[in-house]
Structure 1
Amino acid sequence: MEWIYWAIVIILIIIAFVGLLYPIIPSVLFLAASFILYGVFFSFEPFNWLFWVIQGLFVLLLFGADYVANTIGLKRFGATKAGIVGSTIGILIGPFVIPVLGIIVGPFLGAVIGELIVHKTDIKQALKVGVGSLVGFISSIFTKGIIQTIMVVYFLWMVL
């Protein structure tokens, strides 16, 4: 039975990392669920109050990193609120409309279309904002991936 429990915990962690590429998947919830299910299946003994405080701080850092990386990438390339909203919509819809490339094409097109429709900017500026959305999104994935890896390593360090 123990290997089944571990399989469930590992699958939840894997889903959390898939959530980096498919933002509709709430990565943080899957990571938290993996920690909690480990406690239910095995024992909560390895998880003292410090573990939960540190993991909670990492969760806050995840949310902050996501917001900051995307906003800096977009603002640095001259995006307005329309570009930011368009990029966000593209991030959520893109992977479902274009299964593999949608994660890259979605935020780019969303930002470009948002800028063109709302501000009627020239295509060159709209494309620049689209590139900014990609830079922000990719740096967000990278940053969140590092934070999630640290969370998992800390979890494994506590339980093994």
Structure 2
Amino acid sequence: MDVALLILGFICMIVGVFGSFLPVLPGQSICWLGLVLLYFTSAIEANYWILGITLVITVLISVLDCVIPAKGTKKFGGSSYGIWGTNIGLIVGIFAPIPFGFIIGPFVGAFIGELMYDYKDHGRALKAATGSFIGFLASSFMKFVVCMMFLGLYVWIVWEHKSTLF
């Protein structure tokens, strides 16, 4: 049973790292689940400090993941139309059959949203779309760093307990 939990936890870690770039998957939450599965093994004693701290980090990053792209749009002069366009473009970009649609989608969505708000000011719409894109990249990078830290923690804990696990 321990080996099954170990493998399932590692799969969660890998899926979580990919989920840090794919907005449809909550990467940091899946990585945290991998850590929880690791502590369900009988070979590793539960460390509630590590689980608690990583849970707080996971919740904080999840909240920031929703806020950062919208704040990026607003910081660069975007309106609520641009923020909604960013979110809709993100969803459409995920399912669009184009390469890197999840990156292009928020940019195009914010641009179209801003044009719907004021169709005459293309410069402002482009600036808001750029803010959305920068916010999305910052959010994705932040999630990737956290997921890599969780993966490193997972590997370190497994390495420390390798004699009892294997």
TM over 0.5: yes
* Cα distance in 1 for residues equivalent to 2:53 and 2:157: 12
Give the conservation status (yes or no) of the 8 Å contact 1:22–1:92.
no
Q: Does 1:13 align with 2:13?
A: yes
Normalised to the residue count of structure 2, the TM-score between the two structures is 0.82
Asked if 1:36 is matched to 2:36, the reply is yes
> What's the CA shift for 1:121?
4.8
Runs of at least 4 residues off by over 6 Å: none
Larger Rg: 2
> What whole-Å deviation, never above 9, does each CA across 1:32-80 have from its counterpart, x for those lacking one?
321232233x237433221121111111221243234323321221111
Q: CA deviation at 1:142?
A: 0.8
Structure 1: 5+ residue stretches without partners: none
2:68 alignment partner in structure 1: 69
Q: Contact (CA 8 Å) 1:90, 1:108: kept in 2 or not?
A: yes
Deviation at 1:148, TM superposition (A): 1.9
| RMSD between aligned residues | 2.3
Q: In 1, Cα distance between the equivalents of 2:72 and 2:143?
A: 15
User: 8 Å contact 1:65–1:144 — kept in the other structure?
Assistant: no
- State the shift of 1:17 in Å: 1.5
CA distance in 1, matches of 2:146, 2:38: 20
Displacement of 1:3: 5.8
Which is worse superposed, 1-10 or 57-66? Answer: 1-10
The letter of the residue matching 2:23 is: P
For the 8 Å contact 1:5–1:38, the answer to whether it is kept is: yes
Q: Give the TM-score taking structure 1 as reference length.
A: 0.84
